[in-house]
Amino acid sequence: MIAIARPVTELPTASALRFALTWQAGGMLLLVAHILLVKQSIVLLPVVLLIIGWLYYNAPLAGLVVYFQFLIYQNWTIGLFSDDLERSSFTMLQGSNFAVLAMFAALAWSRLMLPPWRRSLGPIIAITSVAMVMALLYAGLGSIKEGPTSASIYFRNSTALVLATLVGLDVGRVWGYRTVALCFMVTVGASLGLAMVEFFAPETYYEVTNAVPFMVLKNLGSRLDTMYTARDVANSNTTSLFNSGEAIEQIRVMGTMMHPISNAYVVAVFGVVAWSIAMGFWLLLIIPMLLLSGVKGAVLMFVCTMSLWFVWQVTKNRPFLLGCSIALIVAYIGYGLAIGLNNGDWHVIGFMGGVHGFVSNPLGHGLGVGGNLSASTSLRASDWEKFQHAASADFALESAVGVLLYQMGIAALAVIGVFFVLLKMAPFGRRVPRYGIVPRRSDIMFIALMAIAANGIFQEEAYSYAATMLTLLCGVLVVNGRREHEAVSTAKLLRLARS
């Protein structure tokens, strides 16, 4: 107990900002070097990745800040250098942030398996280990049935949140949540600025950032690879307000993720993180950006999170908060399914395809089998019309939970279980003499985690960027809470010994 009782390290705000900015610059230089090396030869892919792994092994927080650059700016930077980039190199580069995350998670797991941490964090280590074993088995099955490309895509999509949990647990052994959160906010801050430039001057922005060749490479073989100008990119991102079919049109900003939905979720998570460390003034920027994003899922996640946080702040009653959370989630899912089935919403249709596939084969079909990102899935207009008419697809699509159920069957519970174990171990509130349970600002992160877990029913992107960021940050909070608990226990033992 005493071996892990020392408090975590928190940098003063100014020091944390300087640290984050320094390593953000270093991370961006490493990202550019990585892309240029791979552009020369795909054989050079591991060079920079191994350097980053060495950095994380020796300085976890510095390595984490570098990873944040790869997570947030990877696609944007690839776009800058996408001229004359071969398709194979492009595909490998797009997996770079996941390769860094997997390497970090392997190092994190080796440190977390040391006796003090294995005892203290047993449940979360166990569920993440089971989830990874199951995912590897189903990736092997998917490789046999559908090919390694499809299996690797869905392996990345299904395990990123699991690997991020391990990294968060490892970093939180030493570093406090506020320091990590500030590093995250510094990273995303520049991305928010670029997103605003894109919103106000999209065509100029797409020209300068080389968006056209990036989008062609990304969508090769589909209708979107016929883009020739920045106007084509802008038109492809222009839709009706919140996809409602109304006459009001808006451009859905791609941001540095080069994907409108992923960008909206990053903006929402940024807002929640800012609130969690008492920097709520950022919401003056975040709320308008979310409303202008045109992404219903990210907006609803943010609104539900903030609403439940205020319920918790006012009532200070955990059972009441749990009841409100369950009621809100049930109402949200029920209403979403009912309206979606009635209107032929693709996310609901895709979820029902996953449910039907799970019922017909509870053991699962294998990662990469089915799903609209699968190599053998070529959806024509007639397929979409057939699915809409039947109110269900032949396989899962556009739903993170639906895809998991279809591809992994009952084993998907191991991946989804990571959310529940993190919530179970959450240091939710703190007990203060004469006042009882008092909410912490950081409690909002676990409320957001619960919201994104439910949102995965309706959006496949919910379990990529958003869940990855939230499980990582919640992992830091869980370990910080264990340290706090152990430190209190040790202090009591010392007082007893002195008496």
pLDDT of residue 381: 47
Please give the Cα distance from 374 to 393 (Å, whole number).
14
Residue 300 has pLDDT above 50, yes or no: yes
Query: Residue 430 forms beta bridges with which residues?
Result: 438
* pLDDT > 70: percent of the chain: 89
> How buried is residue 406: exposed, middle or buried, by Cβ count under 10 Å (0-12/13-18/19+)?
buried
For the chain, the structural domain boundaries read 120-201+215-498
Residue 387 has pLDDT above 80, yes or no: no
Q: Mean pLDDT, to the nearest integer, of 86-98? A: 93
Q: Which of 88-102, 224-238, 333-347, 422-436 has the lowest mean pLDDT?
A: 224-238
- Residue 239 three-state SS: strand
pLDDT of residue 497: 47
Q: Is 471 left (phi over 0), alpha (psi -120 to 50) or beta?
A: alpha
pLDDT of residue 249: 79
Please give the Cα distance from 223 to 157 (Å, whole number).
24
Output the six-digit token pair for 366. 């294998």
**Pairing of the two strands 430-432 and 436-438:** antiparallel
Confidence band for 450, pLDDT divided at 50, 70 and 90:
very high
pLDDT tens-digit series, residues 455-475: 999 988 889 889 999 999 999
What is the radius of gyration, based on Cα positions, of the chain? Answer: 22
Q: pTM value?
A: 0.92
pLDDT of residue 347: 85
Phi (first) and psi of residue 99, to 5 degrees: -60, -40
Place of tokens 């994104």: 452
Residue 342 has pLDDT above 90, yes or no: no
- Residue 9 three-state SS: strand
Residue 116 has pLDDT above 60, yes or no: yes
Output the six-digit token pair for 333. 């899912």
Q: Which of 310-319, 339-348, 390-399 has the lowest mean pLDDT?
A: 390-399
pLDDT of residue 35: 97
- Amino acid at residue number 298: A
Residue 481 has pLDDT above 80, yes or no: yes
Phi (first) and psi of residue 88, to 5 degrees: -65, -40
Helices (H) and strands (E) in the chain, counts: 22, 4
Q: Which of 191-195, 355-359, 383-387, 461-465 has the lowest mean pLDDT?
A: 383-387
pLDDT tens-digit series, residues 126-181: 999 999 999 999 999 999 999 998 899 999 999 999 999 999 999 999 999 999 99
pLDDT tens-digit series, residues 216-249: 888 876 655 566 788 988 888 888 766 666 667 7
Distance, C-alpha 46 to centroid of its chain: 24
pLDDT of residue 496: 46
Residue 488 has pLDDT above 70, yes or no: no
Task: Please tell me which residue, 75 or 373, carries the higher pLDDT value.
Answer: 75
Query: How far is the CA of 310 from the CAs of 324, 368, 420, 442, 470, in angstroms?
Result: 11, 40, 22, 13, 19
Please give the Cα distance from 158 to 369 (Å, whole number).
13
Output the six-digit token pair for 182. 């500030």
pLDDT of residue 294: 84
Cβ 282 vs Cβ 274: under 8 Å: yes
pLDDT of residue 115: 87
- 423-443 core/surface letters (b: 16 or more CB in 10 A; e: else): bebbbbbeeeeeeeeebbbbb
Q: Which of 165-179, 301-315, 346-360 has the lowest mean pLDDT?
A: 346-360
- Residue 230 three-state SS: helix
pLDDT of residue 433: 74
Q: Mean pLDDT, to the nearest integer, of 8-37? A: 96
pLDDT of residue 190: 96
pLDDT of residue 493: 42
Alpha helices in 373-442 (DSSP H): 381-390, 400-408, 412-424
pLDDT tens-digit series, residues 65-74: 999 999 999 9
pLDDT of residue 306: 97
**Mean per-residue pLDDT of the chain:** 89
Furthest C-alpha separation in the chain: 80
Place of tokens 């409320």: 447
